[in-house]
Structure 1
Amino acid sequence: MRKVVFFLVPRLHLLDLAGPAQVFSTANDLGYRHDLYYVGETDEIGTAQGVPVKARRDWPELGPADLIVVPGWRSPRLAPVPPISAETKRVLRDHHAGGGSVASVCSGADALGAAGLLDGRRYTTHHDLTEELAARYPRASIVRDVLYVVDDRVITSAGIASGIDLALHLVAVECGAEAAAKVAREMVVYARRNGDELQESAMLRHRDHLSDLAHRIQDVIDGRYTDRLPLTDLARGAGVSERTLTRVFTSATGLTPLRYQQLLRLERAEHLIGHGATVEAAARAVGFEDARMLRRLRSRAPEPVVVH
């Protein structure tokens, strides 16, 4: 039975803890056994969401097969030093030096950095914290805008919901892809994402505007991006001219409606290909008649970051 120890830091984000903990707990329910521990430097840990959680003060005996996870804490900006003691840093270093694995969610990467575990390694964190951590740990290599990174038994994730992706990956490595798929299905996870997928989907990246018309058109495209969506039909449904629709949509999102639809198709196709689908099968699944257009779009897109 593998031990998984969550080290709890004051003002931790509940989902940073609960997401990965639920993955391992669900794995237990399905027969893939993990022994879960919750350790802190005080008996009770206040969370960012106001719900206190209990922790034990003593660490269980750990071996090379075991895992320590440091969930993130609330940090619009990072404190000058992470809220962990010298003794906790030593535990993290010693566990890794002994062959064990350590992981972080969101700002938890700051704790790993303070323990010296990021030096000379690749890592990631929440997109709001990348510049601060990059400056704080210049001997480490930050990988921006990916879900998680694995480097020499140091596993870091972007934060919040990506902690679920990280934990599913760890279950897949330990127990097999079928086990991870069963856990994801039991948890009603829409899709198990690879580490090199973007932290923000196209549906989110192009929503930071105030145009009601553009939002309404995006709602239509988001729900039907695999269908043919002629501009005339979109404009008629919105009650505006094609010219007005194109002008407003492009001004709000930086993309034409067609380019936005293509981006959604490309992103979904890349996800399918990353999970073993052929280019031809992925192209058909996202609404292309054949793979030629998908290949053209992929050739124009920036090269994805490959996470080993």
Structure 2
Amino acid sequence: MSSHVVFFLVPGVHLLDLAGPAQVFSTAADFGHPYTLSYVAEQPQVTSAQGLPLAAELDWPELGPEDLIVVPGWRALRLAHGPAIGATALRAFRDHHVRGGTVASVCAGADALGRAGLLDGRHCTTHHDVQDELALRHPKATVVRDVLFTTDDRVITSAGIASGIDLALHIVATRHGPAVAAQIARDMVVYARRNGHEPQTSAMLRHRSHLDDTVHRAQDLIDTRFDEALPLPALASAVGVSERTLTRLFSRATGLTPLRYQQTLRLERAEHLISHGTTIDAAARTVGFEDARMLRRLRARTS
């Protein structure tokens, strides 16, 4: 299903707040996940904080529940000194959320969502320099400090600047799976995608902080088929190297053998299933173990 991403631009918008998420969704479209991007403002041209003039549309497109509004941040020492945002735009934010859509912000953009009433009763975050002010301006919100992003009832806020990339990759991972998000991060040379509320725990992304294309291609195969038998000869053949070379490159890049990496993915998925009430035996079968003994041994090693 195609999704429309609308970026709402204000004077003084930070380029990376805008360009980071836009690049993520544009790359997702390149990989066959259809996203249409558009840019709306209250004047036909806005000048970014970095001095680049940006053209924008004045009319809001029709949006459905699968679509997304993103409000990038802007340059201002205080939120109170930020740009005025008219009633039409604030109503567009609210109406889209009421209709089941998702609304997101980067950095100071959280204040725009707050002005629309979308932070009331929800968790949110923003750049660390203005977290206290955001809490004062929107006392019904719960400001979560020192995290990259928060999600609460289709309202997603991120800390600022580069964290907009993390926010966008999170949205992609939620909609299309972590393997797609990892593929996009790799293409963007964003070597590790970070999580919002917690330290990076996803093995699928934690072991991507390297530059070896052969290993990345092997990981792509393992990520999408971790619950299947993947013999080393077949994996090496698929990426065009010998078994010995693949094992050497893989271990040097990730610290794991291909088999251990696959087992790590299986264990992580099994732990998620068990935490949601699945029995150990059922979880073991779901993630590809022939019986639960190997899963129990792996869990014992990490406990």
TM-score (norm: length of structure 1): 0.64
Aligned partner of 1:166 in structure 2 is: 167
Q: Please, which runs of 5 or more residues in structure 2 have no aligned partner? A: 200-263, 272-301
Deviation at 1:278, TM superposition (A): 11
Aligned partner of 2:230 in structure 1 is: none
SS in 1 for 2:88: helix
Deviation at 1:277, TM superposition (A): 9.5
Aligned partner of 1:127 in structure 2 is: 128
Aligned partner of 2:117 in structure 1 is: 116
Letter in 2 for 1:59: W
SS in 2 for 1:129: helix
Identity %: 64
SS in 1 for 2:85: coil
Per-residue deviation, residues 176-219 of structure 1 (Å, max 9, x unmatched)? 11111110110011201111247xxxxxxxxxxxxxxxxxxxxx
How is 1:1-308 mapped onto 2 (pairs within 5 angstroms)? 1-80=2-81, 82-197=83-198, 276=268
Ranked by relative contact order (alpha carbons within 8 Å, sequence separation 6 or more), the top structure is 1
Per-residue deviation, residues 119-163 of structure 1 (Å, max 9, x unmatched)? 000000000010000000000100000000000000000000000
SS in 1 for 2:79: coil
Distance in 1 between the 2:18 and 2:47 partners? 13
Deviation at 1:101, TM superposition (A): 0.5
Which portions of structure 1, spanning 4 or more consecutive aligned residues, are displaced by more than 4 angstroms?
Answer: none
Deviation at 1:82, TM superposition (A): 4.7
SS in 1 for 2:195: coil
Contact 2:76-2:82 within 8 A present in 1 as well: no
Deviation at 1:78, TM superposition (A): 1.7
Instruction: Tell me the C-alpha RMSD between the 2 structures.
Output: 2.4
Contact 1:82-1:114 within 8 A present in 2 as well: no
Deviation at 1:79, TM superposition (A): 2.6
Aligned partner of 1:305 in structure 2 is: none
Distance in 1 between the 2:121 and 2:93 partners? 16
Distance in 2 between the 1:24 and 1:80 partners? 30
Distance in 1 between the 2:16 and 2:75 partners? 11
Per-residue deviation, residues 33-77 of structure 1 (Å, max 9, x unmatched)? 101010000111111001111100011110111100000000221
Contact 1:82-1:111 within 8 A present in 2 as well: no
SS in 1 for 2:128: coil
SS in 2 for 1:50: coil
Aligned residues: 210
SS in 2 for 1:139: coil
Deviation at 1:276, TM superposition (A): 3.8
Aligned partner of 1:246 in structure 2 is: none
Deviation at 1:5, TM superposition (A): 0.3
Contact 1:109-1:125 within 8 A present in 2 as well: yes
Q: Please, which runs of 5 or more residues in structure 1 have no aligned partner? A: 199-271, 280-293, 296-308
Distance in 1 between the 2:153 and 2:45 partners? 32
Per-residue deviation, residues 267-286 of structure 1 (Å, max 9, x unmatched)? xxxxx99x94999xxxxxxx
Distance in 2 between the 1:129 and 1:143 partners? 12
Per-residue deviation, residues 11-53 of structure 1 (Å, max 9, x unmatched)? 0000000000000011111111101010000111111001111
Letter in 2 for 1:171: V
